[in-house]
A and B are shown apart, each in its own frame.
Chain A
Amino acid sequence: MSSFKDAGHLFRFAGLFVLAFLVFLVVRHYVVPKSFGEYGHYRGAAIGDVAAHPVKFAGHETCEGCHTDILDAKKNGKHAHVNCEACHGALANHANDPASVTPVKPDTAVLCARCHTASAAKPKGFPQVVSSDHSNGVPCETCHNPHSPAIDAGGAK
Chain B
Amino acid sequence: MNVSRRQMLILLPAAAVAWKSVLAGTPEDSPNYRMSDHWWGMLIDISKCIGCGNCVRACQTENEVPDGHFRTWVERYHVTDENMVSPQVISPDGGKEGFPAAAEDAGKYFFVPKLCNQCAESPCTQVCPVGATFVTPDGVVMVDQKYCLGCAYCVQACPYGCRYIHPEKHVADKCTLCYHRITKGLTTACCETCPTGARQLVDLKNPKDPIHEFLKTHSVQVLKPQMATGAKVYYNDLDGSVR
Contact = CB atoms under 8 A, between A and B. Distances in A.
Interface in A72-122: 79, 81-83, 85-87, 89-90, 114-115, 117, 119-122
B98 interface: yes
A119 B192 contact: no
A55 B176 CA distance: 13
B147 to A, nearest CB: 6
A41 B186 CA distance: 29
Nearest to B55: A86
B3 interface: no
Contacts of B142: 46-47, 50
A53 interface: yes
A85 B28 contact: no
B194 interface: yes
Given A35-B26, A39-B136, A21 B194 contact: no
A121 B46 CA distance: 12
A35 B24 contact: yes
Contacts of B133: 42
Contacts of A18: 9
B51 interface: yes
B145 A90 contact: no
B51 A121 contact: yes
A43 B26 CA distance: 10
Contacts of B132: 42
A43 B47 CA distance: 40
Contact of A44 (B19, B27, B193, B195): B27
Nearest to B19: A29
Contacts, number: 160
B102 A55 contact: no
B128 to A, nearest CB: 8
Contacts of A83: 192-193, 195
Nearest to B193: A86
B184 interface: yes
Interface in B1-23: 9, 12-13, 16-17, 19-20, 23
A87 B54 CA distance: 9
A45 B27 contact: yes
Interface residues of A, number: 51
A39 B137 contact: yes
A115 B181 CA distance: 26
B52 interface: yes
B184 A42 contact: no
Interface of A: 15, 18, 21-22, 25-26, 29, 33-36, 38-57, 59-60, 79, 81-83, 85-87, 89-90, 114-115, 117, 119-123, 126
13 contacts: A18-B9, A21-B13, A35-B26, A39-B134, A40-B134, A43-B147, A55-B180, A59-B181, A90-B189, A115-B52, A117-B98, A121-B109, A122-B51
A146 to B, nearest CB: 12
A87 to B, nearest CB: 8
Q: Lowest 9 CB-CB distances: which A-B pairs, in order?
A: A48-B28, A121-B109, A46-B144, A42-B134, A53-B180, A34-B25, A121-B102, A120-B102, A48-B27
A107 B35 CA distance: 41
Contact of B101 (A53, A87, A119): A119
Contact of A57 (B35, B47, B62): B62
A57 B58 contact: yes
B184 to A, nearest CB: 7
A130 B153 CA distance: 46
Given A86-B192, A120-B104, 6 more contacts: A22-B16, A46-B27, A55-B62, A55-B181, A119-B101, A120-B109
Nearest to B26: A35
B180 A123 contact: no
